[in-house]
Structure 1
Amino acid sequence: MSTLGSGPRRVLALHCTLAFGGAWGGMVKLLGEDLTFVAPDMPSHGRSVDWDEGSSFADTVLAASLSVMDDAPMDVIGHSFGAATALRMAVEHPARVRSITLIEPVFFAVAMADAPDTMGDHDGRAQPFVDAMQAGDRALAARLFNRMWSEAGTWDRLPDRTRAAMTRAIHVVPDTHAFLYDDLCGLLEPGQLDALTVPTLLIRGEQALPAIAAVNDGLCKRIPGAVQSVIAGAGHMAPISHPAETSEAFASLLERA
């Protein structure tokens, strides 16, 4: 786990798949005098122990995230799978959450319900990754996953240790399918998202995949009072590629939380 910044207001920060808690460093450079980011590493990521491959990965991440929270409610920001976890946390443990900021949550059940055509685009892009995982080639799968969600050519610019870390973590992705696609936790059922009362911000990049745009739009429609911010020029990795713009949007939410 990383503890970043030195400000009085504490934020639980949940990173994306194949990253680690330190990925919030760009935002912390801009907000660290006002905020402290408590940023755990998901299992099989960063300095965390490996996922046991027997438990539900989504349940394990939620439990680990809750275990590092303060007793008092915290602002929660999440990116990608971390954002989907933050959303679940707000629904299932509302007393622990002061506000939620969801950056491109990969909660594809929303897109499947609202804009199923966008999932055809997503699934076509993801198929090479799926094939590599089924073939047992985790190194190739990590490269393809990174290519799908990051800007072109990113993998070739990464240090060997970062590629190795991504390859170590890639096996968690298939286990998240039931949570993200099938809504195993029932977040879309009546009385769940529509009952949220915490201030909520949805963030996506201007270049977000169509399915992600559908997820953000659908969550904004379902969560009372939720607002959305689109980061100009950004893709999926806005907290890292556009920390200033992402920080500005996040700070605006905190002012009203």
Structure 2
Amino acid sequence: MLCSETYGTPATPGAPPIVLIGGAASSMDWWHPDFCTALAAATRTTVIRYDHRDTGQSPSSPPGRPGYTAADLADDVLTLADGPLHLVGLSMGGAIAQRIAIEHPGRVASLTLIDTTFAAGGPDGLPPPTDRIRDRFSAPPPDWHDRDAAVEHITADIAACAGTVTAAPDEVRDLARRVFDRTTDLAAAHTNHYAVADGRPLTGRTGDITAPTVVLHGTEDPLFPLEHGRALAAAIPGARLVPLPGMGHEVPPRPLWPAVIAEIRRAVDSVPHTTGR
């Protein structure tokens, strides 16, 4: 059973909720409660944030031995609520959202993809991660049981991914502390998503997605440079690309919340509210 939280009340009974899908090793804590509250108020529907397996208070596997597949991570999202869902996926969460939209098109009301790349069928020649991010990913892990060491490591990870428009230092440290305090096994959280097998084959392609889609991408993303977002938007029929100036590979920072919330609201408002599966 995944750990999750819900914000807001739908103005229309049965309106599809918004599900926030975090990146690899990311618990629900990365989606700030103030952002969730503001998004729920702007869209007049419910917003769900949750802990992936091996993060926060959701079930955990031994480090290096995930007891689930990438397909299971996608299936998990469908257990959070019945009926159609507005999916907002960041990085790995964007790949999860794409997979759901390909395999279960009837369950996806709209799709917002943030700082992500192709889940399947992407073109050759997209730019690789920058040297800065590759160097950071090769840094040795801390003692994940040492709170101070873990907080420093997470803070340094965030700094390596950040753009020139990013979260304030106090917010970053508060996040790192919350992550440490809420996570059952940080070693598993920072290992297993990168070791997970695909599971069942994904037979479709990102270009098969039919849900209304907006692609939000940081102009300074060092992991998936902006060309990934541009190619993704071009491949999905009818998708829009919205570059986010100054943002790196990160959960949208507070200065960009108004723009991000406006785009998610636009996606939500483009879909008639329906009930049922």
TM-score over 0.5 for the alignment? yes
State the partner residue of 1:220.
233
Query: How much identity, in percent, do the aligned residues show?
Result: 21
From the two aligned structures, give the one with the greater helix fraction. 1
The 1-side partners of 2:139 and 2:262 are apart by: 39
227, 232, 251: which one aligns with 2:265: 251
Q: Does 1:102 align with 2:107?
A: no
The 1-side partners of 2:139 and 2:122 are apart by: 23
CA 1:26–1:186: 2 relative to 1, 3 Å: farther
44, 53, 57: which one aligns with 1:47: 57
CA 1:196–1:103: 2 relative to 1, 3 Å: same
Code of the residue aligned with 1:201 in structure 2: it is: V
3-state SS of paired residue (1:32): helix
Q: CA deviation at 1:220?
A: 1.1
CA 1:228–1:170: 2 relative to 1, 3 Å: farther
3, 15, 32: which one aligns with 2:40: 32
State the partner residue of 1:2.
5
Q: TM-score, normalised by structure 2?
A: 0.73
The 2-side partners of 1:183 and 1:215 are apart by: 21
Name structure 2 gaps, 5 residues minimum.
145-149, 272-277
2:8–2:40 CA contact under 8 A, matched in 1: yes
Q: CA deviation at 1:45?
A: 2.3
How many aligned positions are there? 247
The 1-side partners of 2:143 and 2:91 are apart by: 23
Code of the residue aligned with 1:36 in structure 2: it is: T
Q: TM-score, normalised by structure 1?
A: 0.78
1:45–1:165 CA contact under 8 A, matched in 2: no
State the partner residue of 2:22.
15
- Listed one character per residue, the Cα deviations across residues 170-213 of structure 1 (whole Å, up to 9, x for unaligned) are 6445544477xx988766x7x52222111011001232227331
State the partner residue of 2:88.
77
1:111–1:119 CA contact under 8 A, matched in 2: no
Q: CA deviation at 1:85?
A: 1.1
Code of the residue aligned with 1:256 in structure 2: it is: S
- Listed one character per residue, the Cα deviations across residues 57-112 of structure 1 (whole Å, up to 9, x for unaligned) are 53342232121131x21111112222221111111221211111111125587888
The 2-side partners of 1:196 and 1:234 are apart by: 26
Of stretches 77-86 and 49-58 in structure 1, the one that deviates more from structure 2 is: 49-58
State the partner residue of 1:206.
219
CA-atom RMSD, angstroms? 3.4
Q: Does 1:158 align with 2:173?
A: yes
